[in-house]
Structure 1
C-alpha cells in the first residue's frame, strides 16, 4: 500500500474514533437531532459549512470545470449567498419556533399536515440525490486509490457516512466537520499551489489548457469566460443553489441547536465564507487537470481529479484526497441525519408518541437503512454529472422555500396558497426536467425556472382568492408573536 492510501486510512480511522467517542453525548432524540440545543459558534459554523462543501462543491465543480469551463466558480458565490440568506432571514425564526424539521412549520402556522408532507417530499427528493452522490464519490476515490471494485468501494463509502452519522448525531457530525473544514482547505490549497507551480504558473496553465481545448469540440474563449454558457445557466444555478436553502431541513436542525439565537447570524455568515472558498479551489484544480491531462467528460473526470492529487506527491496527494473525503463525509453525515429525522417525524405518524430514547433508536435505524439504500442506488444509476444532478435536487426544494418566505413575511398567506404553490412548482419542475433530459437537451437547469417562477405567482394569487376568518384570529396572532419573541 502506498503513502496516499495509508494517509487516507489513518484519516478515516481518526474520524471514526471521534464519532464513536461522541456517541455517549446522545442520550435522547433531541441530543441526536439538534445537539441538545447547546452548540456554540464554531461547531454550528463548521457543521453548516460542511453541508455545502460536499461532493458537488469539490469533485462536482472540478469535474464540471473540466467539461464546461470556469463559469462553474459561480457555485462558490452562490454557496455564500445561500447561507447568508438563511442566516439573515430564516435561522432566528426557526429557533424561536423550536422546530426539528421544516415540515413542522406548516403545522404550526396553518395546522396543515398535507403541506408538511408535500414539503417533506420536496426536501427528501434533494436529500436522496445527495445521499446517492456522496457514497458514489467516496467510492470513486477509494476505487482509484486502492484498486478495488467500484461497487464495493461505493458501499464502503456508504458505511463510512452511516457510521459518522448514526453514532454521533448532530453535535458529533459538527465536531468532525471542524476537522474536515481545516483539512479540506489546506489539502485543496496545497494541490492547487503545487500543481500550478509544476505546470508553469498562470501563463503555463493557460497555454496548456488552450492547447488541450484546441483538440476538442470546446470553444476556448467560452471555456475561459465566467459567462461561458450564457446568463441562463447562471440564473438557473442561482434559483436552485440559493433560493432553495431556507427549506433544507438540515438548517432547521442547526438553527435549533444554537446555545443562543445571537450566534446564528454570525455562524451562517462564517459558514458561507468557508463554503465559498472550496468550490473556487476545486475549479482551479479542474483547470490544472485540463492543463495536465487534457479534457475529459462524464464520471471519468472525477477520477482525473484524484489522479492530479496523487501526482503532486504521495503525502500531499494523500492529504488532498483525504480532504475530498472529508468534504464528502462533512456533507453526507448531516444530510443523512436530517433525512432520517424528516422520515421519522413526517412519515411515521406514531413517532409523535415515542419516548425520547425510542425516537433516538428510530433515528439511528432509519439512518442505517436509508444510507444503505442510497448506496445501492449509487451503484446502479448511470450518473454522468454530479453538479447537474445536485442542482436538480436543489430546484425541487425551491417551492417550499418560497412558501416559507411568504409565511414569515406576508401574513395573508393561506394554507391553500401554500399547497398549490408547492404542488404546481414541484410538479411542473419535474416535467420540465424530464422534457429537457429526454428531448430538448438545453445546457441549462430548466426545472429551476419552473420551480421558482410558478410558486412566486401561484402562492400570492391563490392566497388572495382564499382569504377566510381561519387565516386570522388568536392562533395566527400567537404564531407571529412567537416569531417576534426572542427564545431563551
Structure 2
C-alpha cells in the first residue's frame, strides 16, 4: 500500500472539494472572485496571509539555506511575520477603507496614470518570479514523496495543474477556505516531523557531531551574520506593505478592524515555522552531506515513518499550494483590473471581467511554469526581486504620514529609481557598497521621493480618507 500516494490523493480531493464550495461563494461576480466579496473575517485573513507566507521559500527554501548556514536561516520566517504585523498595525485598515482592488489603482487615484502603469508591470514581474519558485519546491516535494511516479519536472507539472486549477475554480474564496486546511496541515506536519527527526537522529547534540565544524550550524545568528538577517527584515517588512498579494488580502477584509487583526494574528502564526524547517535542513546535512540542498528537507522527511512522512510532505506541498494560489490570483487581478479594464475594455461588464480573470490565471500559470525552469536558488532569487517593492512602500508611507511632500510625479519617478537600482545592482557590481540591495533601494527611493517634492511644483490630491 502506497501511503504517501493515498495521502496526496486525499489532500488534492479535499482541496478541489473546498474550491467547488468556494465557487458558489465567488459566483456573485468579479469582486466575489478576486476579493471574496470583501467578506474575509479575521481568522480567514490570518490563515490566508500565513498561507501566502509559508510557501516554498519558507519551508524548502529555508531548509535549503539551513543545509549550508544552519539555524540562522530560520529568521526568514520571523522577518515575514514581522512584516505582516507591521502591515496590520500601519496599512491594512487603510487599504480596506479606500475600497480599492489593486495597488496600481490607488497610485492612479493619488498620483497619475503613468505611475499606475509602471506599478502594475513591476508588481506583475515580482509576483511572476515568486510564483515560479513555488513550482520548484512543489516538484521537489512530489519527487521525494512519490519517486516511482514523479521526477522533479513532472512534479512541477502536477504542482502547476493543482495551483492553477484551485485558483481558477474559486479565486480568493478558494485561497481563504483552503488555507484553513493548509495551515492546520502545515503546522501539524512540520511540528511532528521536527520532533520525529530529532528523535531518530539522537537529538541536536548527536546531529552536531556529524556536521562540518567550520560552519556554526547551531548558532541562531552566526551562520548568516546579523547584517544579512537585518536585511531580511528590511526586505520582508518592506514587501508586506505594498505587494499586491498582501494588499489584495487586506482589501478583501470584511471591515478595517478585521483587516488589522487578521494580519497581526497571521504574523504571529508565522514565527516558529522557519526554525523548525531549519532544524530539519541541518539534520539533512548531517544525514545526507552530499545531496542537492533543495532536496534537503524532502529527503530527511522521507527517512521518517511512512505515515509521518506522507502527512509532512503533503503539508509542505500544502504550503506551496496556499502561496501559489494567492500569487496567481494577485497577478491575474493586476492584469484584469489595471490593464484590461483600464485600457483595453473599460466598458467590460462584471461577467466579462470574471471570465478574463480565469483565462489570465491559466495563461499566467503556463508562463510561470516555463520561467520556473530557470530559477536556481529559491531564497536568493526571492529576496532580490522583493527588494523592488521598496519604491511602492516608500510612496505609501509618505502618502500616509507626510502627504504634504507628495507630488504628481512622485510615484512614477520613485518607481523608476527603484528599478534602476535593481538593474545596476545586478549588472554593475561596483555599486554594491552595502551588504544587500534593499539598503540601497531605501536610500535611493527616499532621496528620490524627497527630491521630487523639492523640484516638482504640482502637488497631488491625496484622498481625505487615506
Structure 1 unaligned spans of 5+: 484-488
Contact 1:407 1:413 in 2 (8 A): yes
Instruction: Give the match for residue 317 of structure 2.
Output: 325
Alignment of 1:167-316 (within 5 A): 167-209=169-211, 213-214=212-213, 219-221=214-216, 224-294=219-289, 296=291, 300-316=292-308
1:332-351 per-position Cα deviation (integer Å, ceiling 9, x unaligned): 00110000000112222134
Shift, 1:203, TM fit: 1.7
1:81-137 per-position Cα deviation (integer Å, ceiling 9, x unaligned): 110111111111111111100101111112x11111222222222211111111121
Change (3 A) 1:307 1:443: farther
In structure 2, C-alpha distance between the alignment counterparts of 1:443 and 1:289, rounded to whole Å = 35
Contact 1:125 1:396 in 2 (8 A): no
- Aligned residue pair count: 460
Please state if 1:482 is matched with 2:462.
no
1:417-470 per-position Cα deviation (integer Å, ceiling 9, x unaligned): 32222211221122202345xx99x899632222222101110122122133x4
Change (3 A) 1:41 1:206: same
Contact 1:246 1:401 in 2 (8 A): yes
Q: After superposing the two structures, state which structure 1 stretch, 232-241 or 185-194, moved more.
A: 232-241
Instruction: Give the match for residue 376 of structure 2.
Output: 384
In structure 2, C-alpha distance between the alignment counterparts of 1:426 and 1:400, rounded to whole Å = 11
Instruction: Give the match for residue 139 of structure 2.
Output: 139
Instruction: Give the match for residue 459 of structure 1.
Output: 449
Partner of residue 364 from structure 1, selected from 358, 378, 384: 358
SS state at 1:246 partner: coil
Alignment of 1:433-472 (within 5 A): 433-436=426-429, 446-468=436-458, 470-471=459-460
In structure 1, C-alpha distance between the alignment counterparts of 2:360 and 2:434, rounded to whole Å = 35
SS state at 1:54 partner: coil
Shift, 1:141, TM fit: 1.7
In structure 1, C-alpha distance between the alignment counterparts of 2:434 and 2:367, rounded to whole Å = 30
SS state at 2:315 partner: helix
Change (3 A) 1:268 1:237: same
SS state at 1:206 partner: helix
Instruction: Give the match for residue 157 of structure 1.
Output: 159
Instruction: Give the match for residue 23 of structure 1.
Output: 23
SS state at 2:227 partner: helix
TM-score (normalised: structure 2): 0.94
In structure 1, C-alpha distance between the alignment counterparts of 2:401 and 2:446, rounded to whole Å = 14
Please state if 1:89 is matched with 2:90.
yes
In structure 2, C-alpha distance between the alignment counterparts of 1:285 and 1:351, rounded to whole Å = 50
In structure 2, C-alpha distance between the alignment counterparts of 1:338 and 1:351, rounded to whole Å = 20
In structure 2, C-alpha distance between the alignment counterparts of 1:176 and 1:367, rounded to whole Å = 18
Q: After superposing the two structures, state which structure 1 stretch, 66-75 or 88-97, moved more.
A: 66-75
Please state if 1:416 is matched with 2:406.
no
Shift, 1:250, TM fit: 1.8
In structure 2, C-alpha distance between the alignment counterparts of 1:9 and 1:31, rounded to whole Å = 28
Structure 2 unaligned spans of 5+: none
In structure 2, C-alpha distance between the alignment counterparts of 1:17 and 1:395, rounded to whole Å = 37
Instruction: Give the match for residue 350 of structure 1.
Output: 344
TM-score (normalised: structure 1): 0.90
Change (3 A) 1:384 1:350: closer
In structure 2, C-alpha distance between the alignment counterparts of 1:434 and 1:274, rounded to whole Å = 38
